[in-house]
Structure 1
Amino acid sequence: MCSATDSTNLSVGAKTDFKVGNGFFQRLWVSSLSSTKSADGLGPLFNARSCQRCHLKDGRGHPPAANWPDDDAVSMFLRLSIPPQNEEQRRRLAEHRALTIPEPTYGGQLQDLAIQGDRAEARMHIEYEEKPVLLADGETASLRKPAYTVTNWSYGPPHPELLTSPRGNLVTFWSAPERRVLSHLRWKTAAASLPEAGWRISAHQRQRAARGHAPLDHTSHY
């Protein structure tokens, strides 16, 4: 489902589109001015130089092995927001015209990398607490509970009511038939929760997928 090769059910024209898109997906962008005119425009702040840096080989991201400067969080980032501050913001949230209220200085996503000569917004810091869990067979497993903070703010302190939410970059699905997506789910309860999970699959697509010949539109699930 998640590879850099095109699906066998694509037309010749769609295969060309896929290859062009996959080229953009793998491209390393650079800052202006540069000799590479077709790949410049990076920055000044960013999270990664290419799509594939986050979605390695079209797969899942991962937490950093260590905190900055020993490692960076290329395939993981923090969403930033604040509680609604006025009636207009509360109305926008209630009417679903906005999902969150961005932090006034740093926006809706922490960007922890910057081009040469500029400063990254800040650094994500993760601390883990080991939590013992007793399993049904009597064995004890140790799980890590993460706690997220932000350090090294470069452009002033954030809003005092700052909210953060970690995001790991998950799998991107390209034109996969729904029946194939469902067949890879391990638990039936997960399949039952697809509508609530945010999958953009129409009733018409579901009917055609059940007959085995309808690809999904390019759909990402986070």
Structure 2
Amino acid sequence: MIKKYSLLVLITWLCACTDASKAPEFSDSELRPGGEATLKRVNTRTFIHPSGNLSIDHELEFWDGLSFFRDPWVASPAITADRDGLGPLYNARSCKACHSRGGRGRLVTEGVSSPMALLFRLGHGEQQRPDPIYGAQLQTFAVLTPTNSPKLQAEGQVELQYEFIEGQFADGTRYQLRKPSYRIVNLSQGELHQETQISPRYAPAIYGMGLLDAIDTQDLLSLEDEFDSNNDGISGRYNRVPDVLTGEMSVGRFGFKGLHPTLNQQIAGAFVNDIGITNPYFRKETCQSTQLACLAEAKRVKGEEQPEIPTKLLQTTEFMSAQLAVQPTRNLKSAEAQSGRETFYQLGCHLCHQPSFKTRVDYSLPELAGQVIWPYTDLALHDMGEELADGKREHLANGREWRTAPLWGIGLQHRIQGYQAYLHDGRARTINEAILWHGGEAKTSQEKYLAISASEREALLFFLTQI
């Protein structure tokens, strides 16, 4: 039986079979990476825009959903009934605090802090059980409890330090990388479990996520090659994770290790873990059995009530998140960008950063259905080497594996936000540094990058800033 794959995935495969390092013929569809949903023109003020093909009526729903992304939540009980329920423990009071202007949040500087855009996942053992005292995520803030209630404290803070590593390209050009180290300090209830691994997660940009959700699962699985059967050095595979509503195991495509199978579950997970807002997906607070003050506060303000964000309001937020537009490319037809595009393929970057897909024609949001998109990701797990390893497992993902990050819009981060940082923990200050950190399956591409000329590097970096 012949499997039916999207046209763009099949074309990419055919190109790979003839010459994996040769760039395919340029397509004008690359200029609009979100298909018809692409924003009509570049905007350098914010990433928050509705899909370019959204109707006026649906745009109103988009802006309604934005209010739940933008506005801060408050502790219960409060007059603002639709926006209370913060905590008891949390990392931020709003989605915007971590995803500034729809992009990445601002990183903290060295020293001790309570970061918002940089979260820390916790787990120990082969099955990666949550830390027995602090749970699956360190939460650096706590709501203020009444004087007659047990005093609730934030779980802890983070101490960040950087080590600087010097190196040089084959042509003698020097570079510097910064390597972070983290220590959890000021813990409120004693030390972490001795085997607990801590994994930093720098909040990603969130535009285009509805289009990634709309990719057919079979098109993703057609790219899976866990045992490198084609001998190209790439052995990408997909995480298998539970769909919390159905209980079934599904392909993970969201989160740095593919922890969630759908965009809606990813959003619900962020609500409960980051802001402390229970919802139809995750109905229990994150308090552990030993966190008595947290449990007492949750019972005081909630008891047996319904989730703190009901289905209707959660769906409005989900709609807005799915419809965040991808911006059009810039100067992609220029000679320099086209030269960089050739280098992108020659280095083998496309083997993980899969350039294109066609979204499902039956996707639930018609504006995102049947679109030719250019996200430059396969959404698969890849071994990125020991230098980027965190040692933490999440379902099938091991401590060296990370999901391929999308590249679309990457060059607008600094223009829109005034700062830039890349990779899962924000250690890379430039795209150049991000490439140099690549190891594991990407080591061959990284070594080729070290060997090419300065002009070829500049062209590649220019191409990446334009897609």
Choose from 77, 80, 84 the match for 2:122. Answer: 80
* 1:48-127 alignment runs, 5 A limit: 48-68=92-112, 71-84=113-126, 89=127, 100-117=128-145, 118-127=152-161
Question: How far does residue 191 in structure 1 lie from its aligned partner after superposition?
Answer: 4.6
CA distance in structure 2 between the aligned counterparts of 1:171 and 1:200, rounded to whole angstroms? 20
CA distance in 2 between counterparts of 1:207 and 1:39 reads 32
| CA deviation after TM superposition for structure 1 residue 182, in Å | 10
Aligned positions of 1:131-170 closer than 5 A: 131-170=165-204
* Structure that is richer in helix per residue: 2
Q: Shift of the alpha carbon at 1:190?
A: 4.8
CA–CA distance in structure 2, aligned partners of residues 190 and 102 of structure 1: 35
Deviation sequence 1:82-136 (CA, Å, 0-9, x none): 013xxxx4xxxxxxxxxx4211221111111111242110112111111111123
Return closer, same or farther for 1:44/1:78 CA change in 2, 3 Å cut-off. Answer: same
Is residue 193 of structure 1 aligned with residue 221 of structure 2? no
Structure 1 runs not aligned, ≥5 long: 90-99, 213-219
- CA-based RMSD of the aligned residues comes to 3.5
1:73 alignment partner AA: P
Q: Give the number of equivalent residue pairs.
A: 195
SS in 1 for 2:111: coil
Deviation at 1:208, TM superposition (A): 2.7
User: Share of identical aligned residues, percent?
Assistant: 31
Partner of 1:22: 66
Whose radius of gyration is greater, 1 or 2? 2
Residues 171-210 of structure 1: matches in 2 within 5 Å?
A: 171-174=205-208, 175=210, 187-188=344-345, 189-194=348-353, 204=361, 208-210=370-372
Counterpart of 1:172 in 2: which secondary structure?
coil
Q: Larger RCO: Structure 1 or Structure 2 (Cα < 8 Å, ≥ 6 residues apart)?
A: 2
Measured after TM superposition, the shift of residue 171 of structure 1 is 0.7
- State how far apart, in whole Å, the 2-side matches of 1:211 and 1:28 are: 33
Aligned match for 1:44, one of 88, 101, 117: 88
Aligned-pair CA distance for 1:23: 0.9
Does structure 1 conserve the Cα–Cα contact (< 8 Å) formed by 2:359 and 2:370? no
Q: CA deviation at 1:140?
A: 2.2
Give how far 1:18 is off.
Answer: 1.0
> Quick one: which amino acid aligns to residue 21 of structure 1?
G
Q: Equivalents in 2 of 1:82, 1:45: separation in Å?
A: 21
Residues 1:210 and 1:146: Cα distance change in structure 2 (over 3 Å)? same
Structure 2 unaligned spans of 5+: 1-38, 40-45, 146-151, 216-325, 333-340, 375-404, 407-423, 425-467
Supply the distance in 2 between the matched residues of 1:169 and 1:211 (Cα, whole angstroms): 23
One-letter amino acid matched to 2:204: L
**Aligned-partner SS, 1:19:** helix
Displacement of 1:183 in angstroms is: 6.0
Does the CA-based 8 Å contact 2:91-2:140 persist in structure 1?
yes
Which moved further from structure 2: 132-141 or 201-210? Answer: 201-210
1:25 deviates by: 0.5
Measure, in 2, the Cα distance between the counterparts of 1:131 and 1:63: 20
With normalisation by structure 2, the TM-score equals 0.37
3-state SS of the aligned residue for 1:208? coil
TM-score by length of 1: 0.73
Could you tell me whether the CA contact under 8 Å between 2:90 and 2:139 is conserved in 1? Answer: yes
CA distance in 1, matches of 2:85, 2:173: 53
| Equivalent in the alignment of 1:8 | 52
Task: Determine if contact 2:357/2:372 at 8 Å carries over to the other structure.
Answer: no
Give deviations 1:50-87, integer Å, cap 9, x for gaps.
Answer: 0000000001124312333xx43111111101013xxx
- Identify, as 1 or 2, the structure richer in strand: 1
Q: What's 1:92 paired with? A: none
Deviates more, 1:167-176 or 1:101-110: 167-176
**Aligned in 2, Cα 1:122/1:40: closer, same or farther, shift over 3 Å?**
same
Q: Per-residue deviation at 1:148?
A: 1.3
**Amino acid across the alignment from 2:116:** V
C-alpha contact 2:89 2:143 (8 A) present in aligned 1:
yes
